[in-house]
């Protein structure tokens, strides 16, 4: 039986992640408060964001940009700015 969380992104009870995907406090916060569905939505946005901004995951400053966008998207209701992309309402 999968675990459920109250997803702070979707604002409802939903199946939670199977394990903590990211180390540290942010990873714990995501594991405790973000559902599988919300994480999948973030992964799509993250891919577009990385490609649009031509980010290099080997660079600490680029990883920090991604982390900030992730926290903003999942917890602060901020849309990820991707040129030429309009979010569905």
Here the tokens at position 28 are: 């714990």
For 46, half-sphere exposure in the C-beta direction (CA atoms, 13 angstrom radius) is: 20
pTM of the complete model beyond 0.85: yes
Here the tokens at position 53 are: 């901004």
Characterise 24 by phi-psi region: left (phi > 0), alpha (psi -120 to 50), beta (else): left
Q: What is the pLDDT of residues 68-78, one digit of tens each?
A: 999 999 999 99
Q: What is the pLDDT of residues 14-27, one digit of tens each?
A: 999 999 999 999 99
């Amino acid at each position: 039986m999968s675990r459920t969380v109250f997803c702070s992104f979707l604002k409802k009870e939903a199946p939670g992640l199977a394990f903590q995907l990211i180390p540290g406090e942010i990873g714990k916060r995501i594991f405790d408060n973000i559902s599988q569905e919300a994480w999948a939505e973030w992964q799509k946005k993250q891919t577009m964001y990385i490609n649009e901004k031509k980010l290099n995951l080997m660079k600490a400053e680029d990883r920090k940009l991604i982390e900030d966008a992730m926290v903003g998207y999942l917890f602060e209701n901020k849309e990820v700015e991707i040129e030429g992309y309009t979010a569905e309402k």
